[in-house]
Chain A
């Protein structure tokens, strides 16, 4: 999320799947789109038919590769080297979109003299060896510093302690720029120097990608990134699940800025999400450290003691986050109703939970195992199979006092008490297994990969005692409120004040899901009328809104997410199908589809432009810009909020309206991406030879989570895990379905004929794959679709492992994720599933 969020302002896909039809070239990397997003892959196929070039860069030749014009193999975990190579190619050959880069990015901005780029040690200036983290102060621009609150929401937290609070906006005056891009300290030159060593030769050495293939990719994307043409990028968890996943996405985001592809039709970056509504689950937050709409959770370690401190601390001087008080006040109003008055905010805020540390998934699992977490509710998750280092997760489940699992099938998370040879009588966990309704059996919405909400109506009643998850939570809430109703303990004030009055339907009193959507969308408190969007939200308590980015989804009292007008019956961006946040804008930053004067860059790629007669921005989509702000508008030096964004600043959420090639603030692991090897890798880091893996990786020194040392001869092969079209993630919704199970009936590993020959393994023979965490048995599928990578004369073999199986269900297999280490990325705590080392032996040993 911060990979896109820090560069462009928002942590969501910048375009939409349908718009891929307008692309002239689509680069798919870090994604096996045809297999993992087969329905979405329809659109690249249509583009291809219209003449677009499709490129797949991947460690394996997959069903996606088979449909692309160019396939370039890449050794797992080396995407920054590959993308950095593309950046270097674009800069060295002057193929960047100069007008776009000068006006819409921070290329011209000067970086302060304090900044020091990374040398062989792979460390930027500001590294604190003792605390093992960066102090980002030296990454600042020359002149007045960036307001840290302007990086917004959850990202603000990433700045870390010690740099929190407000910068002084009146401090150091103007921020100097050099529009010629010649100044040695301008961002463009810093970037150019930084990536100069990412040459095609280096890419070939590090990534194992043949030079012909790399150059074919580079030429094809450059030819298709001009005022007349656009290139789109698609990625998925093949980029995120690395110890430097955020920086991989940053590299791609920088590349797309240089090529001028953001905000333009057929361009953009599609962040393909891993589940049906994974975007929705971060938007209306299930993450521990954000409130709905990416508002930061109050934190004991920050100056969040009072409502006033909290609100002021998160309010940016310039750019979008100047609106923070409106959004946070409206959430509190939605949740606590009459009990909350922003004038006396502390009455509620005093009791509101604060973060006291890292309570993300992995530390919580470890705390569970260590006995610090007593009980757990698990909704629609099967981390006993799907979580990394799944054995540790199952041990953790067995350490709980009680566990409630709501699912449609008896998934492994509910049966850890009888797995791994554990005697049930030795497991003290009391397990409650509650049957849950499936999608077709309940109302609700999905927010899919392109930020679009689509409503689904209940079509059949759930079988037996099965109920929706919402029913369970709603009635649990009701009972808790009843329990605390007469309490006089001040700490119970929050639960007493909580509004929990959704209307119910039917005998079972299912909560009315649309009424929740209405609350999320927002309404005026006085009359309960829905607001038309976040522009109407107030910081005085007169509006309530459960998630400002979804504000408007219930505008005019109509469920906009239910709209289903086919694209064949409407023009342009098909805005009458579903509803996309923010404000139903389908391509974000679409002001950039016009030149600085507001005219389309080309007739072929016109999308949103300035209409002088009407005095507003018009075109094929809702403008992602102040609709009446003139393109030649120049803000006063002391302007605040949106008024501080110039008429040619398309990245309206960032405080300066610019796309950030260089990130002066907001990331824990540096202002620019650097290639590091994976935490577990069989080869050394050729680009920065004094450092092996990212110094900011979060590693856990525990006996139950050992790591394979880099270049350990005991673990010479690289494992990359993935999904197959035929199954659903941990198999929770597919291993019980005969029609899906027969298509991929058991665990297998994919290996090259060379490795098979070395090990004396034939197709469908049993093999054993082991790491220092555990081992799995599976059959080998031998195929030359698995490339062998040359590295300094050595052969580096890759083992492909789909991870859908476990001991339950119709089709079974060992749990692949038992092999994986808990090695986490610094900014978002994502695990490294796409590149770790293992051994492979013939037979079941």
Chain B
């Protein structure tokens, strides 16, 4: 049985209750008190001490990128703004998204971990064992989402545990428990997939044809890691939510790198051989 999250960004109200509940349950410290000026986001990003992070995306419609994934007629949804800032369809003008570890099906962090600290636990969640982690930090650049960082005082890496301790006691993770609008749902991945499909269909029926589930290999470009156990319902291209279009495993780069190195070695060898011919 695999458990995971489904985060429906279309009902997120940006209250940050998930951030606070996560920090309170997991006893994580505050990261400092700085006004970033980036909308209402002052905790900036996921890190070893921020395991849920609510992103505030102002004017996503203006930020829309032209990429190679054609999400259903996105451009048609852009409407002319009414004078004075009125919006006859306000959904999507200011988007909120509670970000979290994606609990990848093929987890790059786990593959990069040399000590075996990163495991898949009995809930099929990607879990860093804090007593095994030696703080090498290899998982940090391996993560395609920038989820993991090392904490300053001892260098160990931390991230969302999917509230392993709560799950073992039959409780849902703290963030899902605290979410007032059920934007964050917790459950078995298969069930969540079904809920997500129904939800997206419902949005399509209401005219929001751009809605889609992000995190299944078939849609949205997460095939390289065989999808995520943390899925999201998005209304826009992944980059708008600071998600990579094509997350990949580090060894994919290794293949290209190895070939490139071999070619380089060959060329260098030839050059050296030529240089010493006389």
Contact = CB atoms under 8 A, between A and B. Distances in A.
Contacts of A741: 30, 33
B82 interface: yes
A64 B14 CA distance: 10
Contact of A68 (B35, B83, B90): B90
B52 to A, nearest CB: 12
B94 A745 contact: no
A34 B82 CA distance: 23
Interface in A23-50: 34-35, 38-39, 41-42, 45, 49
Contacts of B89: 69-70
A35 B14 CA distance: 8
Interface stretch (A393-401, A593-601, A702-710, A780-788): A780-788
A35 B16 CA distance: 10
A743 B43 contact: yes
Interface residues of B, number: 43
Contact of B16 (A41, A49, A726): A726
B84 interface: yes
Contacts of B16: 725-726, 743
Contacts of B20: 739-740, 743
B246 interface: no
A816 to B, nearest CB: 15
Interface in B1-30: 11, 13-17, 19-20, 23-24, 29-30
A439 interface: no
Contact of B42 (A45, A745, A789): A745
Nearest to A66: B94
Interface in B84-101: 84-91, 93-96
Contacts of A743: 16, 19-20, 42-43
Interface string A65-76: 111111111000
A42 B181 contact: yes
Contact of B13 (A41, A739, A744, A811): A41
A56 B90 contact: yes
B88 to A, nearest CB: 6
Interface string B29-43: 111111111011011
B163 to A, nearest CB: 16
Contacts of B59: 784
B35 A746 contact: yes
Contacts of B188: none
A434 B30 CA distance: 28
Contacts of B19: 739, 743
A38 B39 CA distance: 19
Contacts of B11: 45, 49, 67
A698 B215 CA distance: 59
A294 interface: no
B58 interface: yes
Of the candidates A66, A210, A741, A783, the one having the most CB atoms from chain B within 10 angstroms of its own CB is A66
Given A39-B180, A49-B202, A785 B33 contact: no
Contacts of B42: 742-745
Given A39-B180, A209-B86, A790-B83, A748 B35 contact: yes
Interface in B75-131: 82-91, 93-96
5 contacts: A61-B87, A70-B89, A212-B88, A739-B24, A784-B85
Interface of B: 11, 13-17, 19-20, 23-24, 29-37, 39-40, 42-43, 58-59, 82-91, 93-96, 180-182, 202
Top 8 closest pairs, chain A to chain B, by CB: A787-B85, A738-B30, A213-B86, A764-B37, A745-B33, A742-B30, A38-B15, A66-B94
Interface of A: 34-35, 38-39, 41-42, 45, 49, 56, 61, 63-73, 208-210, 212-213, 216, 724-726, 738-746, 748, 763-764, 779, 781, 783-785, 787-790, 810-811
